[in-house]
Structure 1
Amino acid sequence: MPSADLGLWLGYSQVGAKSFFEHNSEKLFTPASLTKILTAYSSFKTFPMDHKFKTQLLTVGEFKEDYLDGNLILKGGGDPSFISESMWVLVNHFVRTGVKEIKGNIVVDDSYFDQIRYDETREKNRVDRAYDAPVGAMSFNWNSVNVYIRPGKTDGAPAKVYADPMSSYIKVVNRATTVKGNVKKIRVTRLADETRVGDIIIVAGTIGLKREEIVSYKSITQPDYWSGVHLQEFLDQRGIKLKGKVVKGQTPKEAKVLAEIEGSDLRKVVTDMMKFSNNYVAEMLTKNISAFTSHKPGNIIDGIAKMREILEQDLGFKKNQYNLINPSGLTRDNKLRPVDLAHLLNKAKFDFKFFPEFIASMPISGIDGTLKDRFGQDIDIHVRAKTGLLNGVTGLAGFIGHPEGSIYTFSFIYNGTQARINQAARLFEEILKIVISN
C-alpha cells in the first residue's frame, strides 16, 4: 500500500521515550475513534475517580391521600449509564412515597445540557444506527433500541419482531415474512414519527425457518420524550397512574427531591466508551466536562475547549499540530500525529492516580470489546488498545506486553482507500506479532 497512507510509532512505554520504529509519525492523520483515548484521558483529568451522574424525581406539588397533586419532574444529570435497570431502581424509590396517582404531567428537564442532539462536528449524513444516537442530559438506554427478529412457526407466517426496551414511544411496523431454509434478507429502518411523539421501526424482508434470531441496533430521535415515556410505563407497571402526559420543562427552584439514583462511576462509564467505542458516551462525557467546569448547560464547544486545554497544558500538544473538534472521532476533521498519541499513552502510564483504570478500559486482544475477534490465539500476544474505524480510515493504539515482561507503546493509523482497510489492519497485527516473537 502507499507508504504515505500510513503513520506508525512503536517504542518503549516511558515518558519521553524515542521510538525504535516509526514511519510518518509526525504527519497529521484522521484518527477516527482513536480520538476516544483523548476523551478518556481528559475525563480522568477532569472528574474525581468516584464521580457519578445523578438522575432525580422531584415535585412542587402536594401529597394528598394516595395521590400527587401536581407534576412529577424527571431531571437528567447527564448520566450516560442510565438504562432500564436504573429506571426500575428510581421508580422503586418513588414507590415508597405511597403515591398511586399523579394528577399532573411528567415533566422532563434536560436543561443540564444544551438542546443540540446531533453536534455539527459529526459526519454530516445522519443514519438510524445506534452509533449515531442523539445526546441529551436526560437520556435512556444509550438512546437506542434493540430490534430482535425471529422466524414465525410456518412458511409464509409473519416474522416475530420484538423491540427492547419496548414502549408506546416505539411503533413497530412488521412487514417481514418467514420462508423456508436459512434465509436472512431483513431490513430494519427507523423513521421519526411525524404524527406523534415517537419513532417508527419498520421491519421488512424475509427470514428462514432455520435462521437464528437476528438483532439490529437503532437510534431514537427524541431523548427527552423517550425517557419520559419509559418513566410513565415503569410507573404504570408498579400501579402508579399518570393523569396528564409527558412534556418538557425545567425544575422550579423550590422543587423537592422525591427519589434519586446515581449512575455508574466514572471508571465504568469510560470503560463502556472505550471497550465498545461508544460515540454516544463520548459526547455525553464531553458535555459533562463542559457543565462540570463552566457551570452552564453542557455543550460540545466548551467541552472540547477544556479538553484542548488539558492536552496542551498537561501533554504539550501544539495548537498547529493537531485538530480536535469532536470527542468521539465520528468526523474526518479531527487530526492527530501518531507520535503525540503515543506520548499521551506514555504520560498516562506514569500517572498512578488513574492509569490502572485507563488501561483497564481498553479492549483486550481476543478477549473483549472491539478486539474480541482480533489477533489469533496461536501466539502469546497481549494487546490492550483502542481501535478506530471510518470509511478509508483504520487505527490501533495502546500497549503490548512482551512475554519477558517489557511493555511497549504503539500508535498506528491508516488513511487511504476503503479497499485497503483490511490490509492495513492485518499489517498492524503483523507488526505487533513481530515484536512479540523477538
Structure 2
Amino acid sequence: MKYLIATILFFSVFANAQASGTESKDKFADLQKEYQALLKKFGVDAKDLGMYATVGEGEEMKVLLDTNGTKVMIPASISKIATASAVLEHFPPGHKFKTQLLSNVEPKNGVLKGNLYLKGGGDPSFVSENMWYLVNAFTRNNVKKIEGDIVVDDTLFDKVRYDLSRQKERVDRAYDAPVGAMSFNWNSVNIFVRPNGVGSNAQVFIDPENEYIRLINRSKTVSGSGNNLLADREDDKKFPGDVIIVGGSIGQGLKEIVVFKNVQQPDLWAGYNLKAFLAQRGIQLTGEVKNGVTPEKSDVLAESESKPIEQMVADMNKFSNNYVAEMLTKNLGVAKKTKGATLADGVLVINEHLQSLGLPADQYKINSPSGLSRENRISSFAMWKVLDHLRDDFRVQPEFLTSLPIAGVDGTLKKRMKNSAAERWVRAKTGFLTNVVSLAGYAGLEDGRVVTFSFVYNGSTDETKIRAFFDNLLIYLVK
C-alpha cells in the first residue's frame, strides 16, 4: 500500500511539473504574432524601434524580444535610469546632504556683529520646511539682530546654471529651473491667482513671499470660467531679483489657478527667502543679501539635513525632474572636485559607472543626465543591462524600484495602462522628445517572474500611437 501511495504521489508531482513546464514554455508562444499585430494596428515601422526584453533571472532568463537591440538610439528621459544607478552606487540609501548657517564671529547679547553665511551642500530637496527647520535651529543661538549681510555660499558647484547639455531654448517653467549648490523650493516660485469682481484686477499671491520677487499685477477678472492668464518676466538691471508681470484674465467662475515660474539666480533667491524666514521669527537684518565664500574659521550655528538620497531619486524619476537630475549629477562631480563641481564632472562619473557594468563601449554615450538632449545615445540592450544590474543588486533594488512611476497610479504613468491588466504591474521610466518616445523598466507577472524591458522609438509617427503600442504590448505580456 505504501509503495502504491508513493508511486501515485510521484506520478502526480511529475505530471504537475510537466504541466507547469508546458505552461511556462507556451506562455509567450504567441508573443511574436501579437507583436506583429500591434505594429500593424498602430502603424509602427519596426526599423524605427529598439526593443529588448527578457523574463526571469539567472539560468531561467529568457529573451522575449530583440528588435534592433544593439542599435544606438536617442533615449530621451530614460537616461535618468543611468543617472539613478550611478547616484545610488556613489550615495548609498540613507545618504543625506547638509545645508548650514555659519559665522566667523560669536553672537553676544542677542547680536551677531558680522555676516551670516548660508552654505549650500547641493541639496535638491531643500524647501520651505527645511528653511523653517534651519531658522528654528538658528533661533536657539538667541540672536535677535544681525549687524552684517546674509552671504550665500554656493561654491560647492560651478556657476553654470543651465548646462549646454540641455536643449538650447529656455522654458520659463519649473521643469527647466537653473541649478546651484544652494537652491530653494526647486528654484521656482508659486504664483496663485484668484478672481475678483468682474472688471477689476485679479488677486495674485506669491508663495513664499520675499523681496527677491517683484510682482506687477495686470491681470483682470472677467465673466465666465476661462483661464487666459500670462506670467512673464521683465528685465530690470537695477533690481537684484526677478520682476514677474501677471497679465491676461481669469474667469470669475474659477476658484484658483497656480502658475510655476523658475527663478534666475538660485543663490540670491535662497538668501532673500532666508531673510524673510528670519524676519518672521523676529530676527532683524541690517545688511544686504549677496553671494560669497564662507571664511575657513567659521562656526556652524544651525544645520539642516536633506531627506534620504533614495527619495530624491524618486523625485527625479516619478515626474522626470530635470533639475533634480542635474543637481544629483553635480553632487557626483564633487567626487572629482571638492569645490566648483561641473555637470561634466558628474557625467564622467555616470559613464565610468556604466563602463563598470560591462555595457558594450560602442552602444552608449551619455552627455546629459536628464536626457533633455539629442546628443545622448544608448542601445536598448545597453539600457536593459543597467536595469538588469539594478534588479539584481539588493543593496539598491528596493529603492530604485520605488522611484519608478507605477502604471495607472502615479508619476508620468498615472494615466497610462489604467484599468488594464498592467495597472500596478508595470513600473517604468518614461521618455519623450520630438520624434523620440521611450519606456524602460519592469513588468511583474502573477507567477512571480519579472519582465525587464527597454523600448525606444526614433521616428516621425505620432507619439500617442507609439505610447499606445508600448502600453498594449506590456498589457499582453502581463496577461
Match of 2:248 among 201, 205, 223: 205
Q: Counterparts of 1:193 and 1:424 in 2: how far apart (Å)?
A: 45
CA deviation digits over 1:206-227, x for unaligned, max 9? 2111124222221101000000
Counterpart in 1 of 2:209?
166
- Quote the residue 1:8 is aligned against: 51
When structure 1 is superposed on structure 2, of 256-265 and 3-12 the one drifting more is: 3-12
- 131, 156, 174: which one pairs with 1:130? 174
1:149 is aligned to 193
Residue 30 (structure 2) pairs with residue 30 (structure 1): no
Question: Larger deviation: 129-138 or 166-175?
Answer: 166-175
Match of 1:39 among 50, 75, 83: 83
Q: Give TM-score, length-normalised by structure 1.
A: 0.96
Residue type matched to 1:344 in 2?
V
Letter in 2 for 1:44: L
Contact 1:15 1:346 survives alignment (8 Å): no
Report what 2:122 is aligned to. 78
The answer for the alignment partner of 1:183 in structure 2 is: 226
How far 1:391 moved relative to its partner? Answer: 2.1
Q: TM-score normalised to the size of structure 2? A: 0.88
Letter in 2 for 1:175: R
Counterparts of 1:104 and 1:7 in 2: how far apart (Å)? 59
SS in 1 for 2:107: strand
Q: Which amino acid aligns with 1:151?
A: P
Residues of 1 paired with 2:149 and 2:161: CA distance?
24
Distance 1:215 1:31 in 2: 32
Distance 1:380 1:128 in 2: 36
Could you list the runs of 5+ residues in structure 1 that have no partner in the other structure? Answer: none
CA-CA distance at 1:120 after TM superposition = 1.0
Give the residue type in structure 1 aligned to 2:300: V
Aligned to 1:280: 323
Most deviating of 225-234 and 392-401: 392-401
Shift of 1:355: 0.4
Deviates more, 1:256-265 or 1:292-301: 292-301
Checking the alignment, whether the CA contact within 8 Å between 1:380 and 1:403 is kept in structure 2 is: no
Aligned-residue offset at 1:134: 0.6
Alignment of 1:49-64 (within 5 A): 49-64=93-108
Q: Output aligned runs, 1:348-387, within 5 Å.
A: 348-379=390-421, 381=423, 382-387=425-430
Query: Structure 1 212/242 Cα, relative in aligned 2: closer, same or farther at 3 Å?
Result: same
Partner of 1:433: 475
After superposing on structure 2, the runs of 4+ consecutive aligned residues of structure 1 that deviate more than 4 Å are 15-18
Shift of residue 86 of structure 1? 0.3
Q: Which segment is superposed worse, 241-250 or 295-304? A: 295-304
Report the Cα offset of residue 425 of structure 1. Answer: 0.7
- For residues 241 and 400 of structure 1, what CA distance do their matches in structure 2 show? 56
Q: How do residues 195-274 of structure 1 correspond to structure 2 at under 5 angstroms?
A: 195-274=238-317
Give CA-to-partner distance per residue, 1:363-408, whole Å, 9 cap, x none. 1111111111111214353111111122222211100112332210
Structure 1 residue 108 corresponds to structure 2 residue 188: no
Fraction of identical pairs, as percent: 47
Find the residue that maps to 1:62 and give its secondary structure.
Answer: coil
Pick the structure with greater CA Rg: 2
How many angstroms does 1:85 deviate by? 0.4
**CA separation in 2, counterparts of 1:281 and 1:53?**
13
What pairs with 1:290-329 in structure 2 (closer than 5 Å)?
A: 290-313=333-356, 315-329=357-371
Quick check: 1:83–1:140 contact (8 Å CA) kept in 2?
yes
Cα drift, residue 189 of structure 1: 2.1
Deviations 1:347-374 (A, max 9, x none): 1111011101010111111111111111
Distance 2:179 2:294 in 1: 20
- Mean Cα displacement is larger for which, 103-112 or 62-71? 62-71
Question: Over aligned residues, Cα RMSD in angstroms?
Answer: 1.6
In 2, Cα distance between equivalents of 1:105 and 1:279? 32
Question: Which residue type is aligned with residue 12 of structure 1?
Answer: V
Find the partner of 1:119 among 163, 168, 183: 163
Q: Does the Cα contact within 8 Å between 1:325 and 1:334 map onto a contact in 2? A: yes
Moved more, 381-390 or 7-16: 7-16
- In structure 2, the residue matched to 1:337 is 379
Cα distance change, pair 212–259 in 1 and its aligned pair in 2 (3 A): same
Cα distance 1:334–1:158, how it changes in 2: closer, same or farther (>3 A)? same
User: Which residue of 124, 136, 141 maps to 1:97?
Assistant: 141
- Once the two structures are TM-superposed, the CA of residue 318 in structure 1 deviates from its matched residue by 3.1
AA at the equivalent of 2:109: E
Structure 1 position 191, deviation (Å): 4.2
Residue of structure 1 in register with 2:6 after alignment: none
Instruction: Tell me, in whole angstroms, the C-alpha distance in 1 between the residues paired with 2:403 and 2:56.
Output: 18
Distance in 2 (alpha carbons) for counterparts of 1:190 and 1:166? 17
Q: Give per-residue Cα distances to partners, 1:160-187, cap 9 Å, x unaligned.
A: 2222222111112222211111212222
Retained in 2: the 8 A contact 1:190–1:218? no
Change (3 A) 1:18 1:87: same
Which residue type is aligned with residue 168 of structure 2? Answer: K
Code of the residue aligned with 2:432 in structure 1: it is L
SS of residue matched to 1:19: strand
Q: Distance in 2 between matches of 1:79 and 1:308?
A: 23
Counterpart for residue 26 of structure 2: none
Q: 267-276 vs 19-28, which deviates more?
A: 19-28
